[in-house]
Chains A and B, each alone.
Chain A
Amino acid sequence: MAHHDQFIDSALNCGNYTLALKLLSKKIKQYPNSSYFYALKAQALALQGQNDQALQEAQDLLNKCPSDPETLTTLAYVFDLLDYEPSHGVFEVASKKYPTSQLVYEWFSHSVRSADILQLQKSTMLLTKAVHGSVSQQIVSSRATKLYAASSFLLACKCCSSQLGPANLRLFPMLGLKMAQQAVPETAQEFCIYCQLLELVGKKQDCLKVLEDFLAKENDLELKLIYLRLLKEEELYEKLFVVTQKYLVNLGEDDWDTWRLFVESGALIGKIDQCIKVIDSYSDGRNKSLAYLEVAKYSNDVSKEVYLREYIEKYGTKKCCFLDLKGFVDESAQIDPILDDIYDSRINPVLEGSSKLTDSVLVLIVNYLKLRLLSHPDLLHSPDFIAQCCKLYTATEPLLMHLQEFDFSAGFELVIMACQALVLQSETVGRDLFIRIVVILEAAVERNPYEFHLKLWLITLYMKLNLVTKAQTLLESMKVKFVQIDTLSPLLFTRYSSLTDKDEYLSDVSSFYTKNVKAEVPHMIFNCFQNLSLSKLQGFFEFSIRLQSSFSRFLNCLERIRRCRVSNDTRIIENELKDDLRQFYKIYRKDGKDIDQRINDNRDLTTLWDCGIHERLSEVEKRLDLVNPTVNLDYLAIETLKNLLIYDSRSSLYDEYISKFLELYKRVDELPCTPAEKWNQSIIAHILDPSVPMRDFPEKAESSLDFEFNHTVFVVTDAVHQLQYLAKNPNDKIKGGIRGVQNKVSEGLKGLKEDLTSYKRLSRKDVAKVEDETKKWFKSDEVGKLFNVNAREISTVFEEIRQAGQQTMGALGRI
């Protein structure tokens, strides 16, 4: 049984390991039989860097087979710290020695908390025996443990297949099925697991029979989907045709996937005419209209053009029209005559004033242009396209006056499409272009204040313009929270610490992982087991694993490290953030296919592009990425390794860090790093291997409205701090002379930095100059004039830019 001691806990938490060891030695004398203090001793030794002694202590303790859960948790942590993987998990060793239901349940709980599916499988299997054998009051019923075990076998097969090996891949479904059969499934949730296991062992006919019997009694959605998928996979098209027809017609389930399977099976068994009859007699709706188009894929008797036209006539005034048709429209321009007719009959009269402008017409206009662009992507290169977007936007602008609160107008898409074309058609990509687009989008968002795509574009652009406070205000206005922190916040915090010295935002992001995720997710997984909501378990585990190994989480950690280092706060790095770096690397080096063997990138890089033709436009993206490029896993890896090389010199993996870092550095020109970052990496590469040359000192940006302006100063300042740390904490793996490099870099920084007054003066001058140029462009340039932005709107935008610019310069003054 553990005896917590707050003094020891605080000594460990604040990094005073010598004191912790002293206190522990007293405790061990006082409680010589308490395994927990021995485990803590091993932990303190490991944290202090006495790896060999720590490992010895931990192994000695493990050999004594402690059974206290906290001791076991601590021991698992110690092995993790030491990068040591015992042949069997600590809970596994203990549980097998003392298979009491309580201890095995602790093992199960530990597996849930760490989202370790393979340990979960082992622990639930043992739990079936432990609970079965025990006569005392059970934590969980014997039947439930069998269902837990069956689900865990299934999870292992679904999520960890590449780690199982061929024998277990065959064995696990069989054992899982046996468990499920012993439990005798009753509910839809239980049948869901049972059927998937039947499928995995190859008993697909049996599975179909079970599904048929169950679905005859209860129309469960999850089981229905398995049933239909299995009928298709088994090529039972006659049956599939009958069953889908039953769902569509008899049960009235107007479901698109069912329609698609109905048409496909009908086509494959030569009953396409019957399909058409069913569609004809079905009640009107989008699915019905699209079902004709689906039929057209298989039958030449059905004209795709006729039904495309019919669909646009019916639903062209709905925003979903484009997305519904996207899969049916290709570049063969089949849609052109339809769009021409729509333009002549319904859009042009509005533009000429002979027909009334309504919200429906606006949506029709937007769909018209989106479909046109989809079938002719080259339009983005045409100046006429920008003119057309602007003309249509201007014509529909009066509607913005009547926008209801919280509603947003579809017209924003015309603006975004015009801006995307502008990016492609501009001769140069940089400050002036970004500022122009910001002005256009700010004018649009002022009239359409709840439109979030406009805001996402603005956030991206403000970061490129070195105006981080503007980007942050916008993101905060969108109330991004909880899971959105993982998916959307990287838009703001990528390279955030190279633009500002503020910490709050990065800490908030970090809290989401350490507080929300840690406290909420495991608890809910237990809930899921307890309620036997077995069909949801895979989603829960995947959700948990994706957050634990989240790209955004580790990226935020890098940002926090830079922020701490620039502010001379290495304590947080050593005590807290270093662990995250190590965790990243442990997952990264697995480089596996399974979800728990890789870094999971949950960033939402698509919502920004969910307008226009709803695709990431690679040409536009490439041009935008010339400044503050979107980062990827290689970036995350090289930057993490750089930090591990600085802070984790005692790791047994240190040699691996070096070789992996140098390997990545060899292809640094292909990585999405800025010139300053590449220069910083070259310093580390050079001191590890003096034959690697240091890159030229990064150039300072001329304008304060340039991302590189703050970024370069921050990165160089950070590099000075990195070298200082390495000089103070030398390790024998670093072969190059740090002092010489340090002097060079510090000299360079002196040439780069100015005082706060100069920065602020420069910013004022820059903003005034750019404002003038921007006003001229909107007033006199042939393209600029099209956007119809007036001088007052430009002045308003620049007033805010001026303030944000001063704040950005303030950050430079503080470092």
Chain B
Amino acid sequence: MTSIKPFHATDLFDLNPINLDPLTENFFIYFYLEYLSEWPTLFYKSTSALNTPTGYMLAKTEGQVAKKEWHAHISAVTIDPNYRRIGLGSYLCKTLETYTQEEKPYNAFFIDLFVKCNNTLAITFYEKLGYSVYRRVVGYYGGGRGRVVRNKVDDDVDAFDMRKSLRRDKAGECVRRGGRKVRVLPGEVSY
């Protein structure tokens, strides 16, 4: 059983069953609180019948409307190991679509996210949800170590910027075919 509820700062005390997972990042307090205060409706949780968090979505909006870059960005979506493989991740992502469609106050052109190029499970997951690769960000996960060269790709440190158009992107201008071949450097990804 799953309900969607707004995330509140005090929920941070109850995230251990989710965040102890080795692949889930624990961020500084300010990071969570910044999302809550800047984008209060884009940070929400799924809960069990006992009202304990079973997963959460942490998203924001950014970009310029004039350039048709105004979009929602998924910063983190994560699920308690006990609630995996039941479509809860998809549910959280689809919920974000409903919050950022023509709905006030967001009304975005698209949703995007970054995923490591070697994370095939996640890539497949997002493809099933209608996302496609828009571009490869070379050296995105390299932590600033070493010189990043556009022609030197490495699935372990590169990210795919994946996107899904929303209704506002009527002509589908925010997505593209063959995005895997388009390469940019981390510094070129700014809004």
Contacts and interface: CB of A to CB of B under 8 A. Distances in A.
Contact of B38 (A225, A318, A327, A531): A531
CB-based closest 9 A-B pairs: A539-B8, A524-B33, A543-B9, A539-B9, A256-B1, A528-B37, A520-B30, A452-B20, A257-B3
Contacts of A538: 8
B105 interface: yes
A484 interface: yes
- The residue among B5, B17, B37, B54 with the most chain A CB atoms within 10 A of its own CB is B37
A776 interface: no
Interface of A: 187-189, 217-222, 225, 253-259, 285-287, 290, 315, 318-320, 323-324, 326-327, 406, 408, 450, 452, 478-479, 481-484, 486-488, 516-517, 520-521, 523-524, 527-528, 530-531, 533, 535-536, 538-540, 542-543, 546, 602, 604, 607, 610
Contact of A319 (B8, B28, B82): B82
A543 B10 contact: yes
B49 A327 contact: yes
B26 A479 contact: yes
B36 interface: yes
Nearest to A529: B37
A119 B135 CA distance: 51
Given A286-B1, A520-B30, A488 B16 contact: yes
Contacts of B98: 219
Interface stretch (B83-91, B164-172, B181-189): B83-91
A291 to B, nearest CB: 9
Nearest to B8: A539
B16 to A, nearest CB: 5
A175 to B, nearest CB: 25
B98 to A, nearest CB: 7
A324 B13 contact: no
A650 B99 CA distance: 59
A484 B28 contact: no
Given A482-B26, A484-B26, A607 B1 contact: no
Nearest to A528: B37
Interface stretch (B40-48, B126-134, B136-144, B150-158): B40-48
B40 A189 contact: yes
A507 to B, nearest CB: 19
B23 interface: yes
A607 B81 CA distance: 12
Contacts of A452: 20-21
A681 B27 CA distance: 41
B13 A286 contact: no
B37 A533 contact: yes
A516 B82 CA distance: 31
A287 B46 CA distance: 13
B153 to A, nearest CB: 22
* Range class of the B interface residue count: 35 or more
A482 B9 CA distance: 14
B4 interface: yes
Contact of A256 (B6, B21, B49): B49
Contacts of B8: 536, 538-539
Q: Is the interface of A mostly helix, strand, loop or mixed?
A: helix
B15 interface: yes
14 contacts: A221-B41, A222-B6, A225-B5, A318-B86, A320-B86, A484-B16, A520-B28, A524-B37, A528-B36, A531-B38, A533-B37, A536-B36, A539-B36, A610-B82
A520 B29 contact: yes
Contacts of B13: 483, 486-487, 543, 546, 602, 604
B10 A539 contact: yes
A682 to B, nearest CB: 36
A606 to B, nearest CB: 8
A323 B36 contact: no
B28 A221 contact: no
B159 to A, nearest CB: 18
A530 B40 CA distance: 13
A478 B23 CA distance: 11
Nearest to B40: A533
A611 B83 CA distance: 13
A527 B41 contact: no
A174 B87 CA distance: 45
A352 to B, nearest CB: 27
Nearest to A547: B29
A591 B32 CA distance: 31
A218 B104 contact: yes
B30 to A, nearest CB: 4
B16 A482 contact: no
Given A324-B1, A607-B17, A408 B81 contact: yes
A147 to B, nearest CB: 14
B22 interface: yes
A604 B41 contact: no
B34 A527 contact: yes
A543 B83 contact: no
User: For A187, A222, A517, which residue has the most chain B Cβ atoms within 10 angstroms?
Assistant: A222
A527 B37 contact: yes
A290 B1 contact: yes
A259 B3 CA distance: 9
Contacts of A320: 54, 82-83, 86
A536 B1 contact: no
A533 B38 contact: yes
Given A255-B4, A487-B16, A533-B36, 13 more contacts: A188-B41, A255-B3, A258-B3, A259-B1, A286-B1, A287-B1, A324-B48, A531-B37, A536-B8, A540-B9, A540-B33, A543-B9, A543-B12
Q: Which of B5, B9, B84, B105 has the most CB of A within 10 A?
A: B9
B49 A319 contact: no
